[in-house]
Chain A
């Protein structure tokens, strides 16, 4: 591997990111199928369901707001739940900012259109800035494509399928995110912020409104990291 660390992602980086995300993306088909089935049962049309998956592309929020779609749609709950569940994107984007810093702002904000848990988590493990951008965008395209294929299958054949077991799928996503988290970390300095994040998330689940736990946990971890003495200088990661 002698590829230079240029911050300019090429088509090759995008294709590489797409291919690296492809195996997990296949599982997303089943998530999408489950959503398509559930949305039809809620009374949304096939077109509306596909439009929502295509434009919103945020499974957790789409599932959580599903029961709001009826003859009338309460906008405040719709916006509040969407915001609460997707607020973690704010923190993920902030953490990714250093890799977007040198892009012109058009490409910078276009790169974020498909940001979601899986491609962001994998992008953070990329070797170079270009590789990270390739995974964010290429991997995002892989996830978006399979999410749409899944939603399409769900609305096409949905009536015949009882809702698939999402629980097993959640475990797959959990394993994937955990593998990305553990990554190639070698220093134990991360354990304190992570422990604080887990405890704060648990406390928020017990005492705060639903969906607050991700933000609370992430901010708690960040604050602990801020308060810890800076690590001794190592070779740049």
Chain B
């Protein structure tokens, strides 16, 4: 299935992409509204919430250079001590910048 770009094909394809994306945004809520939420489902959802972020961040740590890795370490460290996101993120960015300055 291909669409010719001419005659509004691009616009149609963009619309399709937007629709698919919105369905992913709404779909989880749509399903949950129809599932009885007991303590087991709640435990699953709670553990999954953080796990989504873990799974998003993992490739950044694995595929990233030393600067990206040290940035994540610095962010986690400052966050654990201060519990404030802004200093933690700043520490991460500064660490990455410094690391790349020194390493290159």
Give B1-53 interface residues, CB cut-off 8 Å to A. Answer: 1-6, 9-11, 13-18, 20-22, 24-33, 37, 39-40, 43-53
Q: Decide if A178 touches B24 in the complex (CB within 8 Å).
A: no
Q: Assess whether B80 is interfacial by the CB under 8 Å rule.
A: yes
Q: Which residues of A contact B15 (CB under 8 A)?
A: 55
Which of A179, A224, A230 interacts with B89 by CB under 8 Å?
A: A179
With known contacts A92-B52, A218-B55, A69–B5 Cβ distance under 8 A: yes
Q: Decide if B52 touches A214 in the complex (CB within 8 Å).
A: yes
Interchain Cβ contacts within 8 Å, total number: 280
Which of B56, B61, B65, B75 interacts with A179 by CB under 8 Å?
A: B75
With known contacts A48-B11, A88-B52, A178-B76, A193–B47 Cβ distance under 8 A: yes
Cα–Cα, bound, A76→B16 (Å): 11
Task: Name 29 interchain pairs, CB-CB below 8 A, sorted by A.
Answer: A23-B86, A45-B10, A48-B14, A55-B14, A61-B17, A75-B1, A89-B28, A93-B24, A93-B28, A95-B45, A95-B46, A95-B49, A95-B52, A108-B29, A112-B26, A172-B93, A174-B71, A175-B72, A179-B88, A184-B83, A197-B50, A200-B55, A201-B54, A217-B58, A218-B48, A221-B48, A221-B51, A222-B47, A228-B43
Residue of A nearest to B80 (CB): A182
Binds B, one of A9-17, A77-85, A151-159: A77-85
Residue of A nearest to B91 (CB): A175
With known contacts A55-B18, A174-B72, A178-B76, A217–B51 Cβ distance under 8 A: yes
Q: Assess whether A177 is interfacial by the CB under 8 Å rule.
A: yes
Distance in angstroms from B9 CB to nearest chain A CB is 6
Q: Decide if A202 touches B62 in the complex (CB within 8 Å).
A: yes
Q: Assess whether A58 is interfacial by the CB under 8 Å rule.
A: yes
Q: Decide if A90 touches B21 in the complex (CB within 8 Å).
A: no
Q: Decide if A178 touches B72 in the complex (CB within 8 Å).
A: yes
With known contacts A55-B14, A94-B29, A226-B47, A171–B62 Cβ distance under 8 A: no
With known contacts A89-B24, A193-B47, A201-B55, A75–B14 Cβ distance under 8 A: no
Using CB atoms and an 8 Å cutoff, list the residues of chain A in contact with chain B. Answer: 23-24, 44-45, 48, 51-52, 55-58, 61, 65, 69-76, 78-79, 82-83, 86-98, 100-101, 105, 108-109, 112-113, 115, 117, 121, 124, 167-168, 170-172, 174-184, 190, 193-194, 196-198, 200-202, 205, 213-226, 228, 230
Q: Which residues of A contact B22 (CB under 8 A)?
A: 112-113
Chain B interface main SS type: helix
Distance in angstroms from A119 CB to nearest chain B CB is 11
Residue of A nearest to B79 (CB): A182
Cα–Cα, bound, A194→B85 (Å): 20
Cα–Cα, bound, A124→B50 (Å): 9
Which of B4, B10, B17, B29 interacts with A109 by CB under 8 Å?
A: B29
Residue of A nearest to B90 (CB): A175
Which 6 interchain pairs have the tightest Cβ spacing? A225-B47, A221-B51, A217-B55, A93-B28, A222-B48, A175-B92
Residue of A nearest to B31 (CB): A94
Q: Which residues of B contact A100 (CB under 8 A)?
A: 29
Q: Which residues of B contact A109 (CB under 8 A)?
A: 26, 29-30
